[in-house]
A = this chain, B = another copy of it.
């Protein structure tokens, strides 16, 4: 990962500011002859789109994606895929106050310290609006992974409120505005968030993303371990402060015996784990089990309650952020987390295939004989 590009073979470069004419991304390294139309990407963007419930910002962005290059007659060609989303509802006037003041918790100050200039309109480049480009890229990554890999995300904690994993139902995720898999928790959260919103306050969240069907062998030790790349990908989402794989921080409290994911042979010659404390990754390489990651999103920094801050002229002052904001930015981070997982897996699928073209797609051992690198025909 480097500056505005991530990935090593499946590479995504994003660009654009919140209130500029457009934003987008260039996807490089995509395999050729994959069917790809705008209609394959749009539904994922629609899930992230603002203004879909009273709990997300009322900014009305259609987030219509255009494919500008890299496909021909409905198929990818192996050349860079440029995607563009025009900004439509960019009311810069809402943001006049923040041109001179630094909002606590925002990147306003650090961009100014680093660059000596910042596009203050809607947060400019540091706006979560940039994540639309990630979601678009994630839609392409899913196509690379193919239908055998399923990547799903859910909110598992809103503010201090968790959920009951015994009631987990993936279908429920689409039925409430919180991507919550537990209908009872969703009801509780709705009440909670309405209160937060009424007070002009905000709250944080924890999101879980699970990839099922990914082959074993993904990950490039030592410094591009699958879990390390996932950690960077998820920590790089706006407002994220923590990342876990599998049991995460809870693993520190387990005994070695409890934490061990024991293995058994299945009749079909594949290996089954009794548990998945590891979250599908051992030694930086996928095991073939579900890959489980969680990330924590801090409460939205834009709140109505005034906070002490300073201005560009060097004076103490206060700021209260009006404008249109999500009381819980964590909600819309769910499709973003899924997209980042998809991009990381697609990249590692290509990397793995380059070095180990004869690796098995399931946990099956041993590889018979010795395979010299052979060229296909």
Contacts and interface: CB of A to CB of B under 8 A. Distances in A.
A3 B21 contact: no
Contact of A373 (B146, B205, B256, B301): B146
A334 to B, nearest CB: 14
B259 A204 contact: yes
B107 A32 contact: no
Given A1-B232, A235-B228, A222 B252 contact: no
A363 interface: yes
A32 B242 contact: no
A79 B5 contact: no
Contact of A361 (B111, B215, B375): B375
Interface stretch (A40-48, A172-180, A181-189, A305-313): A305-313
A240 B244 CA distance: 9
A29 B352 CA distance: 10
Contact of A256 (B8, B34, B303): B303
Interface in A99-119: 102, 104-107, 109-119
A252 B240 CA distance: 9
Contacts of A14: 80, 222-223
A264 interface: yes
Given A241-B246, A362-B377, 7 more contacts: A1-B223, A14-B222, A17-B69, A72-B118, A241-B252, A249-B249, A313-B366
Interface in A201-231: 201-206, 215-217, 219-225, 227-231
A309 B240 CA distance: 37
A372 interface: yes
12 contacts: A4-B79, A15-B69, A15-B81, A110-B287, A113-B363, A242-B242, A248-B296, A258-B299, A259-B299, A264-B308, A265-B310, A357-B376
Nearest to A236: B228
Interface residues of A, number: 178
Contacts of A109: 263, 271, 282, 287, 363, 365
A79 B17 contact: yes
A34 B372 contact: yes
A135 interface: no
A228 B1 contact: yes
Given A112-B366, A117-B32, A316-B264, A68 B310 contact: no
A111 B244 CA distance: 22
A56 interface: no
Contacts of A251: 204, 241-242, 296-299
Contacts of A263: 102, 104, 109, 308-310
A252 B314 contact: no
Interface string A322-355: 0000000010000000000000000001111111
